[in-house]
Amino acid sequence: MEFTSPYVDARRVLLDAVEALGSHAESAILVGAQAIYLRCGAGDFAVAPMTTDADLALDVARIEDEPEIFAAMEKAGFVAGSSQAVGSVLAGLRSI
């Protein structure tokens, strides 16, 4: 299966976000549709083969004191999202 640019871009942004987390990356847990597609792969379903969003959860028991998460994300070019979701962050300069 060949993936089109929006799906490739979404995966790149996800990887950029994990990298931006720095030492917090060890506490990151991939959740949502990206996790399902990664774990299960393609199937014979009437749904999109990938998703263009990504959801990360952090295991609070493993979070380091530094760097401050929002500061690390902003330094990597991410900006806080306008949604009411706690911790919502959008990829800066990228529209996905």
> What is the distance between the alpha carbons of residues 91 and 57, in angstroms, rounded to a whole number?
16
pTM of the model: 0.69
Range of the domain at 43: 5-91
96 within a domain of the structure (yes/no)? no
Place of tokens 């597609």: 37
pLDDT digits (tens, 9 = 90+) for 21-70: 999 999 998 887 777 766 776 666 666 667 777 788 889 899 888 889 88
Residue 61 falls within a domain, yes or no?
yes
Q: With the CA atoms of 8, 12, 15 and 21 taken in that order, what torsion angle do they form, in degrees rounded to the nearest 10?
A: -150
Residue 13 belongs to some domain of the structure: yes
Domain count, the chain: 1
Residue 40 belongs to a domain: yes
Q: Give domain status of residue 35, yes or no.
A: yes
18 is a domain residue: yes
* Predicted pLDDT at 26: 92
